[in-house]
A and B are shown apart, each in its own frame.
Chain A
Amino acid sequence: MGGGDYMERRARAGARLSPSARTAKIKGVLDAAMKSGNIAAAISEAGADLSAQDKTALQALTSSELRTMASVQQKLTRIRGGERAGNNNNFY
């Protein structure tokens, strides 16, 4: 019984995550990666339960893509937060 078996069990567990649990995990990994800039560390800290496929997709994100995603998320947050005029980006 080596670490490989453990990882396989975790990956199988990842495949069984409910859609909402999977979404929350992915969001958690991305939030952590936005803060640290290190997607690999974020996956191992916050996304161990994710499937191998999700981990590969997350790992494929470049720093530049992470920065763009963070900026889009900020804009969406501003819109959702309903900032006052003069202080907001255009709604559209």
Chain B
Amino acid sequence: MGFDDFARAYTGFFKVLTLELGLKCPITCRHCCYNCSPDRVEEVDSEIMKSAIQQFSEIETSEIVALTGGEPFAYPGLLETALEEVTRFPRLKSVVISNGFWATSQEKARDTLENLPPIHQLCLSTDVYHNEFIPLAFIKHAILACEALDIPMFLEVCIEPEDSFQGTLKKALGNDLYERTFRLSTSVQPIGRGMDLNITPKRERNNVLWDSCFMAGSPFVLYDGTVVTCCNCTRLRGMASKSMSDMCGSPLEMGRISQSKLQDIFLEMNKDMILQALRTMGVGGILKLLAETGTYPKGGPSYSHVCDLCIALLTDPHIVSRLRGLLTSQSYVEEIALKRAYYYGEAIEG
């Protein structure tokens, strides 16, 4: 499975399910969006995790289970169980997102990967923040071990505040390895410790999420079994005593694995007009809609990133309720259907 397969699935609807194994991580990056650290004790119940994978496999669109944390390799038992579970379902592939802390030598990296059930793709996060804790030599060991074991991999490199890290990376990996390793550029997300960095995004209005949030189609299961719409929604946990969906019908939180069937959550997300508006009109389109109908609060909510704005809007009960009303209009229903067909090739009934 190449990166293209992952990216294609990730921009689709309910093709990728991301599972958070826990919040423990051996390092404490300054930009970490989930506030992970060695002291975090939260972890997923293995039965909930297995149930989520099994239920996901029964959904017609399912393709990839992405395992994240915290640091998945800091949970060797859970990681092995999750990978074994994925292997039970031939339609599913696994992607593991790691910082490579375990790749202390090339032999150790190879042993670690060889002793696990198949990983279909490994994503290694490395950038100026991770590099404060994880030497680039570890990343090199992990890449070479993946090559030796024929495990497709890519690097996820946060390029904010600046992209100078690429030069450091090139020097550490050597030209050949650098050039043949796929590198995905990402931004600092304004969540967790990342929020404290106060980085102004470089390409705010150019960001595709402004016009069409492709990430809203790939749900994220938190360690406690809560299904949220995307990784950005992890900031909702602990924000209030009641869940967001109970509070205001926000489409950002879709239920719990222990209480709802994933198939029902899939059907619910498929017909949730706010969620589908997010995917097809983007936050920008939603903002325009609110402005045109006089609902947008005067001055607007303050935000530094498009995801910030999304959370501000879609956790406001007044705005959520107004949007629910506006989006019943036939013209919006049709616009969303046309854009789902055009952007995502999704067949719409009716």
Contacts and interface: CB of A to CB of B under 8 A. Distances in A.
B interface residue count range (under 10 / 10 to 19 / 20 to 34 / 35 or more): 35 or more
B209 A92 contact: yes
A20 B203 CA distance: 35
A75 B349 CA distance: 26
Interface of A: 18-20, 22-23, 26-27, 30, 53-54, 56-58, 60-61, 68-69, 71-73, 75-76, 79-82, 84-86, 88-92
B7 A82 contact: yes
Nearest to A73: B343
Interface string B307-350: 00000000000000000000000010011011101110111110
A79 B208 contact: yes
B183 A76 contact: no
B4 A82 contact: yes
A69 B334 contact: no
A22 B183 contact: no
B214 A22 contact: no
Interface in B206-265: 206-209, 211-212, 214-215
Given A85-B185, A90-B207, 15 more contacts: A22-B347, A23-B348, A26-B338, A27-B345, A30-B342, A53-B334, A54-B334, A69-B339, A72-B212, A73-B343, A75-B208, A79-B214, A80-B7, A82-B3, A92-B186
B17 to A, nearest CB: 17
B102 interface: no
B157 interface: yes
Given A19-B349, A57-B334, A82 B182 contact: yes
A87 B339 CA distance: 26
14 contacts: A20-B347, A22-B348, A23-B348, A27-B345, A57-B337, A72-B208, A76-B214, A79-B7, A82-B7, A82-B184, A84-B182, A88-B184, A91-B7, A92-B187
Given A72-B208, A82-B182, A86-B166, A26 B341 contact: yes
Contacts of B207: 89-90, 92
Interface in B158-206: 159, 166, 182-187, 189, 203, 206
A18 B2 CA distance: 32
B61 interface: no
Contacts of B342: 26-27, 30, 69, 73
Interface of B: 2-4, 7-8, 11, 157, 159, 166, 182-187, 189, 203, 206-209, 211-212, 214-215, 282, 331, 334-335, 337-339, 341-343, 345-349
B208 A85 contact: no
A-B interface, 10 closest residue pairs, ranked by CB to CB distance from nearest: A19-B347, A57-B334, A85-B183, A75-B208, A26-B341, A23-B347, A82-B3, A82-B4, A23-B341, A20-B347
Contact of B338 (A19, A61, A85, A89): A61
Given A75-B208, A79-B7, A79-B11, A27 B186 contact: no
A80 B203 CA distance: 19
